[in-house]
Amino acid sequence: MARLEVQNSGAMEPAMVDKITRGEVKGRGFSIIHRFIKANHGALDIRVKNNLTTVIIRLPLQSRTPP
């Protein structure tokens, strides 16, 4: 799996983390990213600690089905 981490200052509310990881946000940014990750059999994780929010995206390095 390839792993991308993006960290930002500020703590994200737990309710928002829940909505984002379930793909239930109203904005286009996280909604598009969530669909892309799921369509490519990846994973999205959000961690909040010490007033920092880290978004972790994991995507497979190879396709699950041959072309």
Give 39-52 pLDDT, tens digit per residue.
999 999 999 999 99
Cα torsion angle, 45, 50, 53, 58, sign: negative
16 assigned to some structural domain = yes
- The phi, psi pair for 17, rounded to 5°, reads -60, -45
Q: How far apart are CA 21 and CA 52, in angstroms?
A: 17
Domain that holds residue 41: 2-59
| pLDDT of res. 29 | 86
Kindly give, in sequence order, each residue whose CB lies less than 8 Å from that of residue 30, ignoring residues fewer than 6 positions away.
Answer: 20, 23
> pLDDT per residue over 53-66, tens digit each?
999 999 999 866 66
Domain assignment present for residue 64? The answer is no
Q: Within a domain: residue 50?
A: yes
Tokens at residue 42, please?
């990846």
The pLDDT value recorded for residue 66 is 62
Cα(55)–Cα(67) distance, rounded to whole angstroms? 30
| Mean per-residue pLDDT, 20-47 | 90
